[in-house]
Amino acid sequence: MIEVRVQAGPFDLGGDLERLAATGAGAVASFCGIVRADGDPAYPDRRVTALELEHYPGMTEAALRTLAESATERFRLTGALIIHRVGKLDAGDPIVLAAAAAAHRADALDACAYLIDRLKTDAPFWKKQHFADGSAKWLEAKDSDDARAAGWE
């Protein structure tokens, strides 16, 4: 089972993980990302109130599907799930769910880390932080994300 969704509305964490567990897995590992209020370390005194995400429909889903297929093959998964939200999300809102199901925990855990590390660099999303003072700033790619993704090559 491979499932990829890009959506504006919230996802059902419990229900989505239950469907993944129903693939006959012995282990399910997941990562749920949340919009952080502390935002960009370059601006420690500016509280983030929202994160706005844009994407290129069709291209984004294809990139996520390719990533899920790669993880499924590489880690012998029974299932892979990636859900990413778009639009304007408030601080504290869930933004992404990456999950992997496998016969054994090591494959599920490694695949989950692989999915989120590669998603940060391989998926075409554009992010803008909105601050409490009314200003906003588009985010740039981070070297640390590139380094983590490169570690899987």
Per residue in 26-57, pLDDT tens?
A: 999 999 999 988 766 666 677 899 999 999 99
Q: Which domains does the chain have, with CATH numbers?
A: 2-150 (3.90.1170.40)
Whole-number Å distance between alpha carbons of 59 and 39: 27
Residue 93 contacts by C-beta under 8 Å, 6 or more apart in sequence? 10, 34, 35, 85
H or E segment to which residue 78 belongs: strand 77-85
Output the six-digit token pair for 149: 């993704």
Could you identify the residue written with the tokens 């999915």?
115
Each residue's pLDDT expressed in tens, for the chain with a length of 153 residues? 999 999 999 999 999 999 999 999 999 999 999 998 876 666 667 789 999 999 999 999 999 999 999 999 999 999 999 999 999 999 999 999 999 999 999 999 999 999 999 999 999 999 999 999 899 999 988 888 888 888 998
- The model's pTM is 0.93
Whole-number Å distance between alpha carbons of 80 and 10: 19
